[in-house]
Structure 1
Amino acid sequence: MAGIRTRLPVYAPVMLVMLIAAAGMVRVLTQHWREGAVLLGGALLVAGLLRILLPVDRVGLLAIRSRPVDVLCYAAFGVVMTALAVTITRGSFDFG
């Protein structure tokens, strides 16, 4: 596993998270806001998982504070966003 970590570019973890978040934004912008919100929450959960698994020199821009604080923030926001997207069932964002 050490060989994988040394070959992993520093920007790869944040790019993975950004790709998931971009897919979520595309879903939101195409009027599928629940699916998009779940993808955005999933991006945060993936960021937290990567922050746990990768060493400090390979995590790149996902490292903002200490590891426990980063993981707690990513996981909490990811779970809250996903839970809200799944549990909101009434109404829509149709203003017309």
Structure 2
Amino acid sequence: MICGCFYLYMKKTDLILNLSDSSDLSKIDAKIAVEVILQELTQGIVSGQGIEIRGFGGFYKKHRKPRQGINPKTSERTQVGEKFVPFFKPGKLLKEIVNKT
């Protein structure tokens, strides 16, 4: 627990407020910082280069092959086309911290 807050999930606005509260940044500057970080992460993933943050993990673009899918409601089989999906691989330090709690 880094910020002293419990969340089922953290929204972007919560992240901005926590960043602002834990630093000398105003809420506007914290919002700009979060927006820039998310924009750079997105560009890194989309470009195929990926982003690696040592100790935290890496963000990549993964290719999924075409496959046979099943509609759970009707049990109808359909063809799912190939696509790229964003992928996160946690780093060693993050895995260790998560497993301690």
TM-score by length of 1: 0.33
Q: More relative contact order in 1 or in 2 (CA 8 Å, sep 6+)?
A: 1
Larger Rg: 2
TM-score by length of 2: 0.32
